[in-house]
Amino acid sequence: MDTKTILNLCKLSNSQQSKHITILGAGIAGLVAAYELERLGHTVEILEGSSRIGGRIWTHRFGNDPKAPYAELGAMRIPREHKHVLHYIQEMGLEKKLRKFVTVFEEQNALINIQRNIFSMKDGPRISLEHYQGIFLDTRYSEKTRLFGAWLKTVVNTISPGNLRESLDRDLNSHLMDELERLDLEPFFSKDDESIDFHGFIKANPGFRAKCSKALDMFFSDILVETSHDLLQLEGGMDQLIHSLAAVIKAPIKCNHKVVGLHVQEDGVEVSWLKGQQLHTRHCDYVLCTIPFSILRKMDLRGFDKNKLASIHNTTYCPATKVAFHCAQPFWEKHGIKGGASFSGEGIRQTYYPSVNTNPSLGSALLASYTIGDDADYLGKMSEQERYAYVKKVVSQLHPEIAAPEMVTDMASIAWGSYEWSSGGCSIPWGDDVSSESNHHIHYLEAARPQNTLLFAGEHCSRFPAWIQGSIESALEVVYEIVTHKQTAVKKALMYA
Ligand SMILES: Cc1cc2nc3c(=O)[nH]c(=O)nc-3n(C[C@H](O)[C@H](O)[C@H](O)COP(=O)(O)OP(=O)(O)OC[C@H]3O[C@@H](n4cnc5c(N)ncnc54)[C@H](O)[C@@H]3O)c2cc1C
């Protein structure tokens, strides 16, 4: 359903009675819910544990100048089909700041590092094949099959966590090369056979995905989105969406209010939070919890049913780590790189170059490393200084310029896996335990299921985990539930009338 249809439904079903809703968490889900509930005539209050709003949308600016270079430590791209996100960008008057996001594998001058062999994306398939051993040397397979298999391995190596990389290796060796040999790969090679339209191939061959392990099959959905040529970004930073929403929400957003306990009762929810060292407890009629389950499961939870607790405890989160450098010069431009990403290898995976304009006299921001899964954990366990030194060393294999004294003038990084307010990058439907897409469907419905008047939203409660789109969709669904809900007291009064 599109955003306007859901909002119209909310408007039509909105009960006359104004409700008061306590919203836990000032990420995008909490803010969208607050904005819409207020517009429907309800009152809200927002309790946010950290000292900042935005949650996993976090733009780091290298300086205070409005045109200062910046890096996105959280969400950075918006797929054009994510209509809820685009709706709020338009609603906040930010659509004029939408720009193309040049993504991984799009910039042909970007680089690939396979065991310290550096080559450009445009030579990717052929040179990948030269550097891989084993089944890729098996001449019983046609050259096209081997080129395709090698490129598939490079794509998955660039984007996926370790367990999925291993799973692809197993699948290639046991049956996927045979499957590729059987398929007509010709239409997905460029005329000179130098590049492969992997996106087109996956779209045209859903049966191929079904032959991969279930977890990898589900991860292909993310790969398809991340490598789509139709991604957008907000010039000036994604946090503009957060701050624009916060500016039009009437209720105060109370930062440094750390929720520590929830007690579901028949007529509402008792919420406990710490402000400084002081513990506060209050009874609330309606509570919307957007706090990630990775945090919620550490709290004192009472009055929850067994299945709900199981969902809170068992939802899997994948770590993610980002490291950004403020560089004196955009040295990559000399190599014709104008955006997109290199595959930097050696545990730092993807290096993204900026593709929007900032003031060149203020330097340039390089997202030197974006990792998920085991690589993110590896980087996350280092001290910040060790992490910076390691990432700089690996990037210097691609770009020796980065090692020059005074090239890197500042740094910023976050290991979401150990971040106090999320204990994880995002919830995932492609963990080791995943058995099917319908399994994920059951997981998110359970995650979103309310406990009396305690309701849940956030990326983990949605069909689109790990995307802003999912957070917003789940928030809109909860707004509908709240406006259509009849309070127990009203129900009782009607029963005895
Ligand atoms: C590295 C990374 C890259 C991403 N890239 C993209 C992308 O390119 N495009 C995209 O669409 N999505 C992306 N995402 C996903 C997107 O950022 C999230 O889906 C979305 O921002 C989550 O919003 P939310 O409101 O559901 O949760 P959050 O943003 O996590 O909001 C929850 C809020 O609850 C607060 N909180 C936590 N504990 C407590 C407590 N005890 N008491 C009170 N408050 C508390 C938190 O501080 C936070 O503000 C990315 C995420 C990460 C981590």
Q: Give pLDDT tens digits for 262-291.
A: 999 999 999 999 999 999 999 999 999 999
Q: What is the pLDDT of residue 110?
A: 96
Q: Give pLDDT tens digits for 80-122.
A: 999 999 999 999 999 999 999 999 989 999 999 988 889 999 8
pLDDT band for 437, please (50, 70, 90 cuts).
low
Cβ burial, residue 172 (10 Å; 0-12/13-18/19+) = buried
Is the pLDDT confidence value at 436 over 80?
A: no
Is the CB–ligand 1 distance for residue 37 below 6 Å? no
Q: What is the mean pLDDT of residues 180-187?
A: 95
Nearest CA to ligand 1 atom 10: 467
> For the stretch 337-361, what's the b/e string if a residue is b when 16 or more beta carbons lie within 10 angstroms of its beta carbon?
bebbbbbbbebbbbbbbbbbebeee
Q: Counting atoms of ligand 1 from 1, which one is nearest the CA of 76?
A: 8
3-state helix, strand, coil in the chain (%, to 5): 45, 20, 35
Q: What is the mean pLDDT of residues 21-39?
A: 98
Is the pLDDT confidence value at 43 over 90?
A: yes
Q: What is the pLDDT of residue 239?
A: 98
For residue 107, the SS3 value is coil
pLDDT band for 198, please (50, 70, 90 cuts).
confident
Nearest CA to ligand 1 atom 4: 75
| pTM, entire model | 0.94
Nearest Cα to Cα of residue 119 among 151, 80, 81: 151
pLDDT band for 411, please (50, 70, 90 cuts).
very high
12-16, 292-296, 388-392, 458-462: which range is least confident on average? 12-16
Is the CB–ligand 1 distance for residue 57 below 6 Å? yes
Overall fold of domain 3-55+240-315+428-496: FAD/NAD(P)-binding domain (3.50.50)
Pairing of strands 317-318, 117-120: unpaired
Percent of the chain with pLDDT over 70: 95
CATH code of domain 59-83+320-418: 3.90.660.10
Is the CB–ligand 1 distance for residue 291 below 6 Å? yes
- Say how far apart CA 489 and CA 273 lie, in whole Å: 26
Q: What is the pLDDT of residue 105?
A: 87
Residue 402 phi/psi, 5-degree rounding, is: -70, -20
Q: Counting atoms of ligand 1 from 1, which one is nearest the CA of 469?
A: 11
- Say how far apart CA 215 and CA 10 lie, in whole Å: 36
Q: What is the pLDDT of residue 180?
A: 95
pLDDT band for 244, please (50, 70, 90 cuts).
very high
Is the CB–ligand 1 distance for residue 459 below 6 Å? yes
Distance 457 CA to ligand 1 centre (A): 11
Distance 484 CA to ligand 1 centre (A): 27
Distance 454 CA to ligand 1 centre (A): 20
44 Cβ partners below 8 Å, 6+ apart? Answer: 20, 21, 22, 23, 33, 34, 37, 38, 249, 251
Q: Counting atoms of ligand 1 from 1, which one is nearest the CA of 273?
A: 42
Is the CB–ligand 1 distance for residue 320 below 6 Å? yes
Nearest CA to ligand 1 atom 20: 468
Q: Break the chain into its structural domains and give their ranges.
A: 3-55+240-315+428-496, 59-83+320-418, 111-226
Distance 172 CA to ligand 1 centre (A): 35
Q: What is the mean pLDDT of residues 446-474?
A: 96
Q: What is the mean pLDDT of residues 24-45?
A: 98
Nearest Cα to Cα of residue 145 among 202, 105, 188, 108: 188
Is the pLDDT confidence value at 492 over 90?
A: no
CB 460 within 8 A of CB 427: yes
24-33, 205-214, 317-326: which range is least confident on average? 205-214
End-to-end alpha carbon distance in the chain: 38
Q: Counting atoms of ligand 1 from 1, which one is nearest the CA of 414?
A: 1
- Say how far apart CA 442 and CA 274 lie, in whole Å: 33
Q: What is the mean pLDDT of residues 462-467?
A: 93
Q: Counting atoms of ligand 1 from 1, which one is nearest the CA of 47?
A: 43
Is the pLDDT confidence value at 491 over 60?
A: no
Q: CA angle 127-128-130, nearest 5°?
A: 60
Distance 103 CA to ligand 1 centre (A): 21
Q: What is the mean pLDDT of the chain?
A: 92
In the chain, the amino acid numbered 471 is S
pLDDT band for 359, please (50, 70, 90 cuts).
confident
